[in-house]
C-alpha cells in the first residue's frame, strides 16, 4: 500500500492506495503555524483502519520550505562566492552576509586565478563574529570545476552546521541562479530538518516502517535522506502533486493541458506526448530565479473565490480575493456566486449568492443574469487565453540546431483535463469555448494526494567531459573520472545512465523499472589554437517522472 | 535583479549541427563557449533581454539581393538560409517595435559575399546583412541605413552590394588590406559613380588597440553618422579584431568591443567573423550584449587580460589621428568620379576579378552602372568563372527613376535577343520582379 500526504495552502489531504484503489482518505485543515500537526492529524485519520506496516511507501508533499521563504522565517546564511570577470557579482548579493572573494575559473574549468586565501579568511572571520552557522559556497563555472567551491566549504567547515555547495544542487550553468539556490537551500536547512525529525519520529510512533520520500516540484520525489541536504528542492511541490495525480487518474499519452482550478488561482500544466513539460532552468523563489527544477506551470488569478468587479463597464474576475464567496459566508460576491446564480452549481447558501449578485448588478445598473453570465464568461476566457499564451511560449522556445529548427516540433494539445473544486461546473463551459475534449477525472478532489502517493523517485544529472583534459565530471554527484582520448558521446551517455541508476539504486530497490531519458546530448570537436585536439561532450539525463503502477 | 535599459532581443543560433568541415574555423564548436558564458552569466535572466528562434529566409529574400550562379540552390545550404533568417528575425523584432534593439548571434557569416555569388568566399555564401536590410526595405519602405562593419577583415562583399546605393552608408573598420585578406578596403574606394562618399573605408594598422578603435568611432564614424542621419544603424559585429584572434593581428579587447557598441548605439547587430572561440568570443559577445542592453559591462574582460600587453604604440595613435582627419572630408566632399573604371556613354564600366578562397573559384566581372543623377542607377553585371560560363545579372534599384527602369527592361530584352548568356538573372526592385533564365 502507498500512502500520500499533500500539505496544501488550505487543506492537508491524505490517501492510502492499494492496487490503485483508495482504501482510506482524509482531509484536515492546514495549520500554518504548525505544519507537523497537520501531517500528524492526517496520519491519525488515514491510519485508523489501515495497518501501518502494510504501507510500503510514504510520500509527502509539504509547503514547509516555501512558507519559510515566503514568510521570511529563514536563517542568516554566509554566502561566499568567487566570480572572476563578467557581470559584477554585487548584482547577485543576497542576504546580509555576502562576500565576494577574488578567484576565477573559465568556461572550460581552468583555474585562471587562484582563490584569494587572505580574503577568504577575512570573510570566514566576519561570519564567525556574526554567529552565522550555515553557508552557501558558490563559484562561477563550479559545474566545470568545483575546486574553489570545495575550498570555500573546507574553510568554513569547523564553524558550519551546514554548507550548501552550488555544484551539488544542479549541474547547470547559471551563476546568479546557483547563488540564490544555494542561499535558499542553506536558509531553510535548519527549519526543514527540525520538521523532518518530527515527521520521522511520528512515522516511527505509528509503526510506519516504509521509506519516506519528499515530493519535488519537477514531478518526482527524493528520498528523505537526500531532502535533508537539499531541502530547497521540496519547494512548490503542490502543483506537481496535482499534475501527477491526473496522470494516475487518466491515461495520458498525447499532448494535453491540465487545469487545476482552485479558490484563488488556476494552475495550468502542459503535457507533450504524455509527459509533463519541465521548466528549462528552474522556478522563481521569493523573486529570485533559481535552479530548482519544476514542472512548467502557469498560474493565473482566477478561481472560485475570485472577487467580481466592474471596470469600464465590463465584469472582471480576480485576480484578488476577498474571503470566501457569499455562498460560504463571504461579504462580497465572488465567481462561485455567479455560478450559483446561473444554477450551474448549488454551493452552500444559494440565496446569499443571488442577493450578492443582485446588489452588485443594481450598483452598476445592469441585469443580475447578465452580470453573472459575463463573470462566468470572463473567467473561461481568461483561463483559455492563458492556456493559449503558454502553448505559444512553449512553441517559441529557442532551439540550437538546424535539425530541430526545421523539424519544428510543436505542442498541439487537443484535450483539457480539469481538476479542483469547481471543475464539474467549468466542464461544459470550457468544452463549448475550447473546441477540444474536456475531461474531469473521477476522484479529482483528492488528485493531489493520489499524485503524492504514486509519484516515482527521480534523479537528474548533467555530465560534462573534456577528452583533451582526459576528464569526465558529474557535478551533482561529485563524480569525477578519468577518460581516454577515444571517449565518445555514446560512452558519456552510458556513464550518465550508469551513475543515475546507481544513485537511484541507493534509494530504491529498483523494482520500479525506471526509464532514463537523455534530454540533451552534444559532442563537439575541439581544435585548439595550437592544433591540440579533443572532444567536448555534454549529456543531460533524468529518470523519467511518472507514477507507480 | 538586473534590468536592461534597452529591451534587447537575442537571436542565439549556434547551429550546433553544421560545419564547413570538422576542423574548419567555421565548425560546430564556434559558439559553444559563448553559449556557456552567456548562460553562466545569467544573461538570459536579465529583465528586458529575451531570446528568440531565427526564421528561415525564403528564396525571394536572397534573390532580392544576389545574383546566384548558376542558381540559388547551387550556392546555398539550409545553414545560410537560417543564418540570414536569424538576421531577418532581428530586424523584424526592431521594426515591429517588439524590442528596442536586437543582436543576431548566428553563423555562418556573410560580409564577404558579393552581389554575384558563385560559391563560398571568406566563409561566406550569402550576405546576411544585405538580405536583412533589403527585407526591411521591402516590407517597411526605403529606409536610410548605415552599416558599420567592425570585423577585422574588410567587408568587401557588403561594399560590393552597396557600391552604387546612395541610401546606404557603408563604413568598414578593418586591418589594413596590405596585411590581411581580402586585401581591399582603402580610402580611395569610396563608392560607385552614383553613390560617391557612401562607402567609407578605414584601414587600421596591425596592433591597433582599444584607443585607436574608439578614436575612429568618436572622430570619424559618429560625425559621419551625425550628418547622414540614418533611419537604422546596423553593426556587422565581427570579433576578429580581438588580441587573441588566431588569423589577424589586432589588439582590440572585449571591453573595447563593448565600449564601441555603447558609443555606436546600433539598432541591430549581426555576428560576423571571430575565431578565437575560447579566449575572445565568450567575453566579446557578453560585452556586446550588455552594452546593447544598456547594462553595466565594466567588469567584463578576458580572464588573462593585461592592458599593458595590448596597448597600441604612440606611432599607431598618431597614424590613426591623421587618418581620421581625412575621412570625414572624404565623406562630405568625395572625389567627382571613382578611381577605378571609365564612363562609356551613359554607362560607367569597371572590370573586377574576384577570388573565392574557400573553394578556389576565380570569377571575372564587367560591371555597367547607368550614370544617373536621380537614382542609384541600373546595374548590369557580366560574369564568368571557373565554374560558370558567361552569365549576366541585371538590377533595377528600389529608388529607380523612370529612365533607369526603362533601361533595365531594355537590357533584359537585349540579353534574351543576343542569347549569349548561360544564365540571366533579373532583379527589378521597383516592380518587384525577380526572374531567372537559363540553367
Ligand atoms: Zn573577419
Ligand atoms: Zn536613374
Q: Shortest CA distance to B104 belongs to which of B26, B32, B39, B11?
A: B11
* pLDDT the model gives residue A158: 93
Please say if the pLDDT value at position B40 is more than 80.
yes
CA distance A202 to chain B (A): 41
Q: Which chain B residues are closer than 8 Å to A91 by Cβ?
A: 1-2
Please say if the pLDDT value at position A529 is more than 80.
no
Q: Which chain B residues are closer than 8 Å to A527 by Cβ?
A: 23, 27, 29
Angle, alpha carbons A198-A199-A204 (nearest 5°): 100
Q: What is the mean pLDDT of chain B?
A: 95
0.90 exceeded by pTM: yes
Indicate yes or no: CB of A84 within 8 angstroms of CB of B303. Answer: yes
A205, A199 contact by CB (below 8 A): no
DSSP 3-state assignment of A351? helix
* pLDDT the model gives residue A281: 85
Whose grid coordinates read 572572476? A84
Indicate yes or no: CB of B33 within 8 angstroms of CB of A104. Answer: no
CA of B333 to the centre of ligand 2 (A): 22
Q: Which three cell numbers stand for residue B209?
A: 588597440
From the list A113, A288, A396, the residue facing B53 with the nearest CB is A396
CA of A404 to the centre of ligand 1 (A): 28
CA distance B16 to chain A (A): 5
Q: Which chain B residues are closer than 8 Å to A408 by Cβ?
A: none
Indicate yes or no: CB of A405 within 8 angstroms of CB of B295. Answer: no
Indicate yes or no: CB of A107 within 8 angstroms of CB of B33. Answer: yes
Minimal-distance CA residue of chain B relative to A535 = B29
- Choice among A46-60, A168-182, A406-420, A521-535 with the minimum mean pLDDT: A521-535
Q: Shortest CA distance to B121 belongs to which of B154, B157, B71, B72?
A: B157
* pLDDT the model gives residue B348: 97
pLDDT tier, B434 (very low <50, low <70, confident <90, very high otherwise): very high
Distances (CA, A) of B231 to A29, B160, B234: 63, 21, 10
Q: Does A532 touch chain B (CB under 8 A)?
A: no
Minimal-distance CA residue of chain B relative to A139 = B40
CA-to-CA distance for B336 and B355, rounded, in angstroms? 29
* pLDDT the model gives residue B72: 94
A476, A168 contact by CB (below 8 A): yes
B425, B68 contact by CB (below 8 A): yes
Please say if the pLDDT value at position A509 is more than 80.
no
Indicate yes or no: CB of A85 within 8 angstroms of CB of B37. Answer: no
Minimal-distance CA residue of chain B relative to A395 = B53
Minimal-distance CA residue of chain A relative to B281 = A107
Q: Which three cell numbers stand for residue A167?
A: 555544484
Q: Does B321 touch chain A (CB under 8 A)?
A: no
A43, A14 contact by CB (below 8 A): yes
Q: Does A392 touch chain B (CB under 8 A)?
A: no
DSSP 3-state assignment of A258? strand
Q: Does B371 touch chain A (CB under 8 A)?
A: no
In chain B, the domains with their CATH numbers are 3-332 (3.40.800.20), 342-438 (no CATH)
Minimal-distance CA residue of chain A relative to B10 = A398
From the list B12, B15, B295, the residue facing A401 with the nearest CB is B15
pLDDT tier, B433 (very low <50, low <70, confident <90, very high otherwise): very high
Please say if the pLDDT value at position A545 is more than 90.
no
pLDDT digits (tens, 9 = 90+) for B190-219: 999 999 999 999 999 999 999 999 999 999
E strand intervals along A262-414: 266-272, 275-276, 284-285, 288-289, 297-300, 306-311, 314-321
Residues 510-529 of A with CB under 8 A from B: 522, 524-529
* pLDDT the model gives residue A191: 94
Q: Does A174 touch chain B (CB under 8 A)?
A: yes
Q: Shortest CA distance to B67 belongs to which of B112, B113, B110, B117?
A: B117
CA of B369 to the centre of ligand 2 (A): 10
DSSP 3-state assignment of A275? strand
CA-to-CA distance for B22 and A452, rounded, in angstroms? 49
CA distance A536 to chain B (A): 9
B43, B49 contact by CB (below 8 A): yes
Q: Does A364 touch chain B (CB under 8 A)?
A: no
Please give the share of chain B, as a percent, with pLDDT higher than 90.
Answer: 94
pLDDT digits (tens, 9 = 90+) for B266-289: 999 999 999 999 999 999 999 999
pLDDT digits (tens, 9 = 90+) for B117-143: 999 998 899 999 999 999 999 999 999
Indicate yes or no: CB of A401 within 8 angstroms of CB of B16. Answer: yes
B257, B243 contact by CB (below 8 A): no
pLDDT digits (tens, 9 = 90+) for B82-112: 999 999 999 999 999 999 999 999 999 999 9
Catalytic residues of B: 112
Please say if the pLDDT value at position A107 is more than 60.
yes
CA of B375 to the centre of ligand 2 (A): 4
Classify the complex by whether its ipTM is higher than 0.85, answering yes or no. yes
* pLDDT the model gives residue A124: 96
CA distance B297 to chain A (A): 7
From the list B18, B23, B42, the residue facing A527 with the nearest CB is B23
Indicate yes or no: CB of A176 within 8 angstroms of CB of B45. Answer: yes
The 10 Å Cβ neighbour count of residue A494 is 12
CA distance B332 to chain A (A): 41
Please say if the pLDDT value at position A353 is more than 60.
yes
pLDDT tier, A442 (very low <50, low <70, confident <90, very high otherwise): confident
Task: For residues A507-514, give the mean pLDDT.
Answer: 66
CA of B380 to the centre of ligand 2 (A): 14
Q: Does B13 touch chain A (CB under 8 A)?
A: yes
pLDDT tier, A336 (very low <50, low <70, confident <90, very high otherwise): very high
Task: For residues A457-469, give the mean pLDDT.
Answer: 94
- Choice among A410-424, B221-235, B420-434 with the minimum mean pLDDT: A410-424
pLDDT digits (tens, 9 = 90+) for A279-315: 878 998 878 999 999 999 888 989 988 999 888 888 8
Task: For residues A392-398, give the mean pLDDT.
Answer: 91
Please say if the pLDDT value at position A511 is more than 70.
no
Residue B221 is classified by DSSP as I
Q: Does B36 touch chain A (CB under 8 A)?
A: yes
Judged on CB neighbours under 10 Å (0-12, 13-18, 19+), B368 is buried
Indicate yes or no: CB of B42 within 8 angstroms of CB of A87. Answer: yes
* pLDDT the model gives residue A510: 55
Q: Does A406 touch chain B (CB under 8 A)?
A: yes
Task: For residues B224-231, give the mean pLDDT.
Answer: 97
Q: Which chain B residues are closer than 8 Å to A177 by Cβ?
A: 42, 45
Indicate yes or no: CB of A399 within 8 angstroms of CB of B53. Answer: yes
Question: What is the torsion angle, in degrees rounded to the nearest 10, for the CA atoms of residue B220, residue B222, residue B226 and residue B231?
Answer: 120
CA-to-CA distance for B162 and B228, rounded, in angstroms? 15
Which ligand is closest to the CA of B373, given by its number?
2
Amino acid at each position: 500500500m502507498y500512502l500520500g500526504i499533500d500539505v496544501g495552502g488550505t487543506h492537508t489531504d491524505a490517501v492510502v492506495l492499494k492496487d490503485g484503489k483508495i482504501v482510506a482518505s482524509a482531509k484536515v485543515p492546514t495549520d500554518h503555524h504548525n505544519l507537523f500537526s497537520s501531517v500528524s492529524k492526517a496520519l491519525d485519520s488515514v491510519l485508523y483502519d489501515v495497518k501501518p506496516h502494510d504501507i510500503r511507501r510514504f510520500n509527502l508533499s509539504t509547503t514547509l520550505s516555501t512558507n519559510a521563504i515566503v514568510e521570511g522565517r529563514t536563517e542568516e546564511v554566509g554566502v561566499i562566492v568567487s566570480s572572476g570577470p563578467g557581470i559584477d557579482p554585487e548584482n547577485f548579493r543576497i542576504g546580509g552576509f555576502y562576500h565576494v572573494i577574488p578567484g576565477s575559473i573559465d568556461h572550460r574549468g581552468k583555474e585562471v586565478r587562484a582563490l584569494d586565501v587572505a580574503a577568504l579568511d577575512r570573510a570566514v572571520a566576519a561570519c564567525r563574529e556574526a554567529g552565522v552557522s550555515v553557508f552557501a559556497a558558490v563559484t562561477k563555472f563550479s559545474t566545470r570545476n568545483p575546486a574553489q567551491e570545495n575550498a570555500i566549504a573546507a574553510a568554513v567547515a569547523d564553524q558550519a552546521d551546514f554548507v550548501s555547495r552550488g555544484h551539488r544542487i544542479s549541474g547547470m550553468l547559471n551563476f546568479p541562479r546557483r547563488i540564490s539556490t544555494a542561499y535558499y537551500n542553506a536558509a531553510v536547512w535548519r527549519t526543514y530538518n527540525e520538521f523532518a525529525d518530527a515527521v520521522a519520529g511520528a512515522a516511527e510512533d505509528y509503526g510506519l516502517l516504509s521509506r519516506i520520500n519528499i515530493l519535488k516540484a519537477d514531478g518526482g520525489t527524493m528520498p528523505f535522506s537526500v531532502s535533508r541536504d537539499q531541502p530547497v528542492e521540496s519547494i512548490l511541490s503542490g502543483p506537481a502533486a496535482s499534475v501527477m495525480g491526473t496522470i494516475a487518474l487518466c491515461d495520458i499519452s498525447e499532448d494535453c493541458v491540465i487545469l487545476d482550478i482552485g479558490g484563488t488561482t488556476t494552475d495550468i500544466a502542459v503535457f507533450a506526448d504524455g509527459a509533463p513539460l519541465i521548466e528549462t532552468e528552474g522556478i522563481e523563489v521569493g523573486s529570485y530565479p533559481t535552479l530548482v527544477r519544476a514542472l512548467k506551470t502557469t498560474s493565473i488569478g482566477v478561481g472560485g473565490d475570485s472577487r467580481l468587479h466592474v471596470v469600464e463597464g465590463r465584469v472582471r474576475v480576480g485576480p484578488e480575493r476577498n474571503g470566501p464567496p457569499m455562498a460560504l459566508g463571504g461579504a462580497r460576491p465572488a465567481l462561485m456566486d455567479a455560478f450559483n446564480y446561473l444554477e450551474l452549481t448549488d454551493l452552500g447558501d444559494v440565496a446569499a449568492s443571488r442577493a450578492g449578485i443582485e446588489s452588485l448588478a443594481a450598483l452598476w445598473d445592469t441585469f443580475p443574469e447578465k452580470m453573472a453570465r459575463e463573470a462566468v464568461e470572463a473567467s473561461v476566457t481568461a483561463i483559455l487565453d492563458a492556456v493559449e499564451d503558454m502553448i505559444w511560449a512553449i512553441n517559441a522556445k529557442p532551439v540550437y540546431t538546424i535539425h530541430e529548427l526545421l523539424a519544428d516540433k510543436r505542442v498541439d494539445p487537443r484535450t483539457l483535463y480539469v481538476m479542483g473544486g469547481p471543475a464539474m461546473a467549468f466542464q461544459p463551459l470550457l468544452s463549448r469555448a475550447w473546441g477540444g475534449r474536456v475531461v474531469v477525472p473521477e476522484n479529482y478532489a483528492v488528485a493531489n494526494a493520489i499524485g503524492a502517493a504514486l509519484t516515482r523517485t527521480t534523479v537528474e544529472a548533467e555530465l560534462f567531459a573534456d577528452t583533451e583534459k582526459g576528464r569526465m565530471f558529474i557535478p551533482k554527484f561529485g563524480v569525477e573520472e578519468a577518460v581516454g582520448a577515444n571517449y565518445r558521446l555514446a560512452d558519456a551517455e552510458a556513464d550518465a545512465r550508469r551513475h543515475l541508476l546507481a544513485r537511484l539504486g541507493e534509494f530504491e530497490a529498483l523494482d520500479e523499472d525506471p526509464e532514463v531519458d537523455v534530454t540533451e546530448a552534444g559532442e563537439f570537436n575541439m581544435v585548439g589554437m595550437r592544433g591540440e585536439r579533443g572532444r567536448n561532450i555534454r549529456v543531460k539525463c533524468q529518470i523519467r517522472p511518472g507514477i507507480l503502477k | 535583479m538586473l534590468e536592461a535599459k534597452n529591451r534587447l532581443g537575442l537571436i542565439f543560433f549556434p547551429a550546433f549541427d553544421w560545419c564547413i568541415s570538422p576542423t574548419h574555423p567555421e565548425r560546430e564548436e564556434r559558439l559553444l563557449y559563448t553559449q556557456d558564458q552567456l548562460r553562466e552569466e545569467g544573461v538570459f535572466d536579465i529583465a528586458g533581454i529575451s531570446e528568440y528562434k531565427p526564421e528561415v529566409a525564403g528564396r525571394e529574400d536572397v534573390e532580392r539581393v544576389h545574383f546566384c550562379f548558376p542558381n540559388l540552390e547551387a550556392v546555398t545550404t539550409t545553414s545560410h538560409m537560417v543564418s540570414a533568417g536569424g538576421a531577418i528575425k532581428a530586424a523584424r523584432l526592431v521594426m515591429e517595435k517588439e524590442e528596442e534593439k536586437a543582436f543576431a548571434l548566428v553563423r555562418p557569416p556573410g560580409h564577404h559575399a558579393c552581389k554575384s555569388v558563385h560559391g563560398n568566399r571568406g566563409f561566406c555564401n550569402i550576405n546576411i546583412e544585405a538580405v536583412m536590410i533589403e527585407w526591411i526595405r521591402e516590407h517597411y519602405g526605403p529606409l536610410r541605413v548605415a552599416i558599420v562593419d567592425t570585423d577585422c577583415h574588410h567587408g568587401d562583399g557588403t561594399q560590393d552590394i552597396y557600391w552604387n546605393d546612395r541610401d546606404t552608408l557603408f563604413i568598414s573598420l578593418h586591418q589594413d588590406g596590405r596585411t590581411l585578406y581580402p586585401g581591399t578596403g582603402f580610402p580611395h574606394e569610396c563608392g560607385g559613380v552614383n553613390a560617391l562618399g557612401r562607402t567609407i573605408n578605414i584601414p587600421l594598422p596591425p596592433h591597433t588597440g582599444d584607443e585607436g578603435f574608439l578614436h575612429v568611432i568618436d572622430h570619424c564614424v559618429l560625425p559621419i553618422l551625425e550628418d547622414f542621419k540614418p533611419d537604422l544603424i546596423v553593426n556587422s559585429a565581427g570579433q576578429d579584431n580581438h588580441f587573441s584572434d588566431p588569423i589577424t593581428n589586432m589588439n582590440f579587447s572585449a571591453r573595447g568591443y563593448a565600449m564601441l557598441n555603447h558609443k555606436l548605439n546600433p539598432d541591430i547587430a549581426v555576428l560576423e567573423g571571430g575565431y578565437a572561440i575560447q579566449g575572445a568570443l565568450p567575453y566579446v559577445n557578453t560585452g556586446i550584449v550588455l552594452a546593447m542592453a544598456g547594462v553595466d559591462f565594466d567588469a567584463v574582460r578576458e580572464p588573462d587580460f593585461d592592458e599593458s600587453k595590448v596597448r597600441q604604440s604612440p606611432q599607431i595613435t598618431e597614424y590613426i589621428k591623421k587618418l581620421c582627419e581625412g575621412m570625414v572630408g572624404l565623406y562630405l566632399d568625395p572625389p567627382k568620379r571613382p578611381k577605378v573604371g571609365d564612363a562609356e556613354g551613359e554607362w560607367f564600366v569597371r572590370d573586377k576579378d574576384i577570388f573565392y578562397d574557400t573553394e578556389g573559384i576565380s570569377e571575372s566581372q564587367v560591371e555597367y552602372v547607368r550614370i544617373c543623377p536621380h537614382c542609384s542607377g541600373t546595374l548590369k553585371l557580366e560574369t564568368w568563372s571557373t565554374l560558370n560560363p558567361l552569365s549576366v545579372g541585371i538590377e533595377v534599384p528600389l529608388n529607380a527613376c523612370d529612365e533607369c527602369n526603362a533601361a533595365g527592361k531594355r537590357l533584359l530584352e537585349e540579353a534574351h535577343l543576343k542569347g549569349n548568356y548561360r544564365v540571366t538573372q533579373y532583379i527589378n526592385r521597383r516592380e518587384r520582379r525577380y526572374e531567372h533564365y537559363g540553367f
